Structure 1
Amino acid sequence: MYHIDYLPLLKLHLRVCKFIKCLPFEYDEKSGLVIRTQNSRQVITFKIQSIFSLLYSFATILHVCIGRLTLTERFLGSLFLILDILLTTTRWNYSLDKSPGQIVNSFLQFEKQILEDLPTAPSSLGTKLMKIFIPVATLSLTGIAIFEFLLLLFAPCTPPFLLSMFPTCRQYYANGYLVQCGIRLFESWMQWHMLLSGGTWVIYILFVGIVCLLTYFRVLHSQIAQIKKDQDMDTCIRLYRSIQILEKSFNDFLMVMIVPAMMICSPGIQLIVQYVCINHHKDIAMPGFLVFPTLGLDAGINNVLVFTLASHINIGSEKALQGMKEKVMGLEKRKLMKRQIRACSVLKVKFGSNFIDRGTPLVIQNFCVNQTVALTLIKSRHVAR
């Protein structure tokens, strides 16, 4: 449940975001809701950071695509380029849209008003794993920023960071100019607020939303199993419709930018991390190298666990509808109930005009493994020559 398992984490995360002013939202203790902040300084700072993120990502794209980099350096830079694009996309809210806070509030209100009198469903293995992964993912937002700082400390000329854009980067590093320190601090600050802001709604709407929807379906399945009369069926149909309304608002926010960005960028991050860890682990100094397996672990878990659970929303809704269709036989108002069940649509996590089904994680892993092997073979042939 959101308010028990994840709301304390979200409140702590929002406090950190408020400290560095990277989100225009905060948690209101009086109302128990996520609201848009009334602090004008926080709003202005957030907008400035958003513009900086856009400019920073654009500069990174130019550097990786047309900069004076070797093929190996382009691969190294591509990882951070994809990450920057993902974070800039998921954090972008220059118009201060209230939708993210409203969706979180919808989950909280749903649990208080609709599930309050219903028994708690047991957790599945997937949701138990997500209870571990979500706090780890939240901590990794700061952890990745720290590892990137260490990477810049030991290898400041690593592409696509700002110092690598200077032809005299190694001279700056050798002479220890103050300019290098200033750029390094600026870049670490950029990465930190981009990670915290960009990761907020990915974790606390996409990830947590998937877990909560699956939990609600388990509650619904337990209620369907106890159907004996028309009133029980009516209760189950109303609960399904309530979940359906929640799913609509969930998808309306995510399907346009966040889920498509995750579907494109997360496999890309996993692919590049696999290639770098296999072929270039000796080229990157420790502990800065740790940023690569950290990113790869997050991306891999997302591609396997999160997308698998997302596909279970579709499966769970199909099972719920099928279960109600089977239970409707023998009820007095079965004709009316059948029409009501037919009016309920199957739920799914959408991206664009498509949705995540049970085959999506396998397709992603097949792509990542095949491309990693292909790139490794190309590199080995190049070295052999």
Structure 2
Amino acid sequence: MLSEIILPHLTRHFSIARLNHCLFYEWNPKKNRVTESGKFDKKWSRVMLLVSWGYVLLQIIGLSISSATPAEKIFPATLTYLNIACSFLGFVWSADSANVQLMNIIYWSEKRSREECRGHGKILAVIINLTYSLANFSAYVAFPPAIVVMLVILPCQAPLLGSLLLPRDQCSRPLFQSLGIMLIFRVIVIVVEFIQIYRHVVIAAHYIMYILVSGILYFWEEAIKLLRFPYSMEGYRALQVLETILNASIRFRIFPTVLFLAPTMEILTICACIKYYDATDKIQLVLIAVLAVNATVLNVLYCTGAGIVCRKSGEYLRDMKARVKGKLDKKLLKSYAPLKVRFGSNFMDELTPLIIQQFCTAQTANLLLLSYK
């Protein structure tokens, strides 16, 4: 089910990434597999990685020296944080074989017809499809074009390059009012911003949606398939192998990074929407609200999947203890542990999603209370 739902989104994602040459991975349509990208893409990705950190540094400096009011800094600060988050997610120098292996397990698995989904499975399939559609719409359709439109109308919008490079007399002029060399220069600035923004959203979507979230959802799906059967030692062992592959891919870099960045994004964007809704431009407010919705849905989705797998596998092992009769099987069962999606030395249990959302809600309220004092 999951492969059938996500595969169209994945191939579309890789098609966009190929235009930007910003990933160390690509989709091979002949083999229907994810492979490492070509030499040019790898070299270009490394160059753009260095450029992106220079770009982020410029944004931080520009924001720190700005004399704008706090309300005027909300959108620039959100953009800067988004760029920092994407730069951290894309802070790699080469392809990771564990990521390639995980993606091929997910997207090369045997497809099941959607007609087989019933009840909760069908509802879950709709939720997953809507989530990926929302993420793709936000990343590829809404956000970058909105930034371009903003630069056409407001060329000196902080913290973008125009605020640092353009003369002051150009800041109040829309693009069509500029002439000659200045028109060409402004077009170049817009193109550079567009490429940089698209690179960031492609990288963020790749590591978050198509490795982390897809990996956890696939693990969840495979666990639910097995746990319907009352007794399957071999099947549980296969799940442990999948658990090892998943944790090798996300445990030490992707998952800890997202666990820090996504709740922080949720807290800051919700707080900004509540506190500055009447002082922020409507287009900017909509973009911030879209980021808040994406961060909230993301936090709920992957945390819930990982927590359910841990709880269900623990219940399954307890049920198996009452069914196992042979001495060898009992010893083998003792060696089995509940399935865990790990981040660093910790793991997700069934209460982690509630704890994270409670933390986000409490910190948002605290931030609002402190800001009004």
TM range (shorter): 0.7 to 0.9
Equivalence for 2:351: 359
Equivalence for 1:310: 306
Counterpart-to-counterpart distance in 2, 1:10 and 1:238: 31
Is 1:171–2:136 an aligned residue pair? no
Is 1:131–2:123 an aligned residue pair? no
Structure 2 CA distance for partners of 1:319 and 1:150, relative to 1, 3 Å: farther
CA contact (8 A) 1:107 1:246 kept: no
Is 1:349–2:341 an aligned residue pair? yes
SS class of match (1:60): helix
**1:255-290 C-alpha deviation (Å, 9 max, x unpaired):** 212111111111111112112212222333333432
Counterpart-to-counterpart distance in 2, 1:289 and 1:150: 15
Superposed displacement of residue 108, structure 1? 4.5
CA contact (8 A) 2:213 2:301 kept: no
Superposed displacement of residue 200, structure 1? 0.9
- Give 5+ residue unaligned stretches, structure 1: 225-232
Equivalence for 2:205: 199
Structure 2 CA distance for partners of 1:33 and 1:373, relative to 1, 3 Å: same
Equivalence for 1:145: 144
Superposed displacement of residue 165, structure 1? 4.0
Give the share of equivalent positions with the same residue, in percent. Answer: 24
Equivalence for 2:362: 370
Compute the RMSD of aligned alpha carbons. 2.6
Is 1:290–2:296 an aligned residue pair? no
CA contact (8 A) 1:121 1:219 kept: no
Counterpart-to-counterpart distance in 1, 2:42 and 2:305: 35
When structure 1 is superposed on structure 2, of 202-211 and 23-32 the one drifting more is: 23-32
Structure 2 CA distance for partners of 1:338 and 1:158, relative to 1, 3 Å: farther
CA contact (8 A) 1:154 1:288 kept: no
Equivalence for 2:317: 321
Structure 2 CA distance for partners of 1:352 and 1:74, relative to 1, 3 Å: farther
Superposed displacement of residue 204, structure 1? 1.3
**1:118-161 C-alpha deviation (Å, 9 max, x unpaired):** xx775545554223212321232112222333343444444332
Counterpart-to-counterpart distance in 1, 2:73 and 2:351: 31
Equivalence for 1:36: 36
Structure 2 CA distance for partners of 1:291 and 1:379, relative to 1, 3 Å: same
SS class of match (1:22): coil
Structure 2 CA distance for partners of 1:96 and 1:213, relative to 1, 3 Å: closer
Superposed displacement of residue 209, structure 1? 1.5
Structure 2 CA distance for partners of 1:84 and 1:207, relative to 1, 3 Å: same
SS class of match (2:171): helix
SS class of match (1:55): helix
Counterpart-to-counterpart distance in 1, 2:167 and 2:215: 44
Equivalence for 2:26: 26
Is 1:212–2:218 an aligned residue pair? yes
Question: Runs of 4 or more off by more than 6 Å in structure 1?
Answer: none
- Paired amino acid for 1:62: I
After superposition, residues 97-136 of structure 1 pair within 5 angstroms as 97-108=96-107, 111-112=109-110, 123-124=120-121, 125-126=123-124, 128-136=126-134
In structure 2, which of residues 265, 278, 288 is the aligned counterpart of residue 269 of structure 1?
A: 265
- Give 5+ residue unaligned stretches, structure 2: none
Structure 2 CA distance for partners of 1:359 and 1:157, relative to 1, 3 Å: farther
Equivalence for 1:9: 9
